[in-house]
Every structure is written in structure tokens, then in C-alpha cells.
């Protein structure tokens, strides 16, 4: 057995309101679900981006919880990469600069393909890259 795709990816943040403003207002993702103080869920292409309050997800579910999701979380700055064509990366760069979001790094990979890096309000490393950096 081999997984066929990644359905969801998670980032952990310290400020859900700032994260919502960033991912909806700056990146244009559609909000799928929200539980105040705990999480935000966003549609991203065929997948889902889960953004959690790291402290809230450490709390185990109640014994009678309808959805007994095990505790989870991460400490420190995470990383997520959004797929983007070469033309989209040019567009993202212009969009981010217009929104006054600092571009931390931008370069061409030795095997081909460009990457552009920024930070979200919680310090997570957010990348926009051509899928060909992975031969996709």
C-alpha cells in the first residue's frame, strides 16, 4: 500500500485572527471551517490546509467526544509550500510586494524551478514553488 496523495497539511499558529486575515486576506484561500480559539480550515486546490492553535490541539478529546481526534501539535516555525507556475510566481511576487509582505528568499533551484519564500504572522515559512523542483 502507498498513499495516493496528501489530503490535508497542518500549520500551528499563535494567533488565529492574524492567521485568518493572512490566509484569506493576503493569500485568498477560502475558509471551510472555524472553531474560535482552536482552528481554521481552508480549501487549497484539491486539498485542505489546517491551521491550528498549537496549545488547543494538545488537549486530548473528552472520553465521549463525537470526533475523538488525538492530540497533536508542533513547536517552532513550520513550513508549507504552495504549487505555482513560473508565471504565477511572478504574479505572487507582485501581489506580495503590493501587500507589503517581505520576501525572505527567491531563487532558481539547480535542477530547475523557482521558489519564493515569505513568513506568515506566526513565523511559519511559506513557499511558492514550481512543481518541477521535485520533478513533478
Count Cα atoms within 13 angstroms, Cβ side, for 124: 25
| pTM for this prediction | 0.93
Residue 94 CB: number of other CB atoms within 10 A? 10
Backbone angles phi, psi at 70, to 5 degrees: -65, 155
Beta pairing class for 30-35 and 47-53: unpaired
Contacts of 122 (CB under 8 A, 6+ apart): 11, 12, 13, 14, 15, 18, 19, 77
Q: Indicate the burial class of 62 (C-beta count within 10 angstroms; 0-12, 13-18, 19 or more).
A: exposed
User: Is 57 in a helix, a strand, or coil?
Assistant: helix
pLDDT at 113 (0 to 100): 96
Question: pLDDT at position 19, please?
Answer: 97
**DSSP character at residue 112:** S
Q: CA-based angle 22:23:29, to the nearest 5?
A: 145
pLDDT tens digit at each of 136 positions of the chain: 988 889 999 999 999 999 999 999 999 999 999 999 999 999 999 999 999 998 999 999 999 999 899 999 898 899 999 999 999 999 999 999 999 999 999 999 999 999 999 999 999 999 999 999 999 9
Partners of 50 in the beta sheet? 10, 41
Domains in the chain, start-ordered, CATH in brackets? Answer: 1-60 (3.10.180.10), 75-135 (3.10.180.10)
Length, in residues, of the chain:
136
| The pLDDT of residue 108 | 96
Amino acid at each position: 500500500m502507498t498513499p495516493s496523495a496528501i489530503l490535508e497539511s497542518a500549520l500551528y499558529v499563535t494567533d488565529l485572527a492574524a492567521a485568518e486575515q493572512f490566509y484569506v486576506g493576503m493569500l485568498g484561500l477560502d475558509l471551510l471551517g472555524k472553531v474560535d480559539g482552536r482552528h481554521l480550515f481552508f480549501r487549497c486546490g484539491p486539498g485542505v490546509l489546517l491551521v491550528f492553535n498549537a496549545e488547543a490541539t494538545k488537549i486530548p478529546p473528552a472520553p465521549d467526544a463525537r470526533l475523538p481526534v488525538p492530540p497533536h501539535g508542533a513547536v517552532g516555525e513550520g513550513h508549507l509550500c504552495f504549487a505555482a507556475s513560473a508565471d504565477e510566481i511572478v504574479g505572487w511576487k507582485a501581489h506580495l510586494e503590493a501587500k507589503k509582505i517581505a520576501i525572505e528568499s527567491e531563487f532558481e533551484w539547480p535542477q530547475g524551478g523557482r521558489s519564493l519564500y515569505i513568513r506568515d504572522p506566526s513565523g511559519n515559512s511559506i513557499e511558492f514553488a514550481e512543481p518541477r523542483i521535485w520533478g513533478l
